[in-house]
Amino acid sequence: MAEQAPAITLERVCKSFGPNRVLHEVSLVLPAGKILVMLGPSGTGKSVLLRCLVGLMKPDSGRIFIEGEDITALDERRSADRDKLFALRRKFGMLFQDGALFDDMCVGDNVAFPLRQHEKMSETEIAQRVKEYLDAVGLKDVQRKMPAELSGGMRKRVAFARAIALQPRIVLCDEPSSGLDPVMSATLDDLILDLHRRYNMTFVVISHDTAEARTIASHIGLLYKGVLQTFGTKEQVLRSNGEAINQFFDRSTKGPIQVL
């Protein structure tokens, strides 16, 4: 049996905006079916990294492989590459920081939206898929509710159902616990672990929350000033005794991460 390609491989990825260096020679290999929590202070390149992964932004140099395919070699301006780029993007689901639900659509239509856009399914099949994934995130009989009728935690769950509706291979989560209380954040961590076990998806979670990293991560990375300070399995990183990672987990103002 052929060895499965890593879900994500970055080779010396660089990205700058004018004099502002956002990513500098970032390299990592994330095996398929794992959960990476990428930590780091605000404004250190984490969100730019997500955009590069899905091909919405092109690095200045370096290469990015998604399940062995080089997404940086594809140019959306070339018709021959557009279909390949679309197929690669279909491998991703995206959970935005604020959920990004459509407030003028009911819950069912929010989850159904990507299915109607990208799948040739009957409305009966769509309804079945919507129910399956709402059930998977612990929400039953909420299809006709509007987002404004939901709590913050419920909105995040609906956003998760929409993110996995197209059955992606990789789910990108941009600070999923942002704005939630500690109990709801822990509940969301349990949901990520449950979806990971149930569907064997690869997760990349952008976070500031070290408790979340300890709970859900199989791998941890730390970005600071565009440089990947550390990356490895959770066990490797937590026993590495690196200054930056220790400062972040200790919530200390003393260390290489400067307080601005």
Residue 16 lies in a domain: yes
Residue 2 has pLDDT above 60, yes or no: no
Provide the β-strand partners of residue 35: 203
Question: pTM for the complete prediction?
Answer: 0.90
Per-residue pLDDT band for 234 (boundaries 50, 70, 90) equals very high
Given this model, what pLDDT does residue 125 score?
A: 93
User: Which residue range(s) make up the domain with 221?
Assistant: 1-87+207-260
Q: Is residue 232 part of a domain?
A: yes
Q: Decide the pairing of beta strands 35-39 and 219-224.
A: parallel
In a domain, 70, yes or no: yes
- 152-163 and 107-118 are packed helices; what angle lies between their axes, rounded to 10 degrees? 20
Crossing angle of helices 123-136 and 107-118, in 10° steps, is 120
Residue 159 domain-assigned (yes or no): no
Residue 66 placed within a domain: yes
pLDDT surpasses 60 at 169: yes
The pLDDT value recorded for residue 72 is 92
Alpha carbons 160 and 192: distance in angstroms, whole number: 9
> Please, which pLDDT band fits residue 203 given cuts at 50, 70 and 90?
very high
Tens digits of per-residue pLDDT, 113-123? 999 988 888 99
Q: How many separate domains does the chain show?
A: 1
Residue 249 lies in a domain: yes
Give a yes or no: residue 133 inside a domain: no
Q: What is the mean pLDDT of residues 27-50?
A: 90
Longest dimension (CA), the chain: 58
Residues 6+ apart with CB under 8 A from 29: 6, 8, 9, 10
Contact 195, 163 (CB under 8 A): no
| C-beta of residue 54 within 8 angstroms of C-beta of residue 92 | yes
Q: Is residue 75 part of a domain?
A: yes
- On the question of pLDDT at 148 being above 70, the answer is yes
Return the pLDDT at 99.
61
Residue 215 maps to which CATH number? 3.40.50.300
Instruction: Report the mean per-residue pLDDT for the chain.
Output: 89
Q: Please state, in angstroms and rounded to a whole number, the distance separating the CA atoms of residues 95 and 55.
A: 16
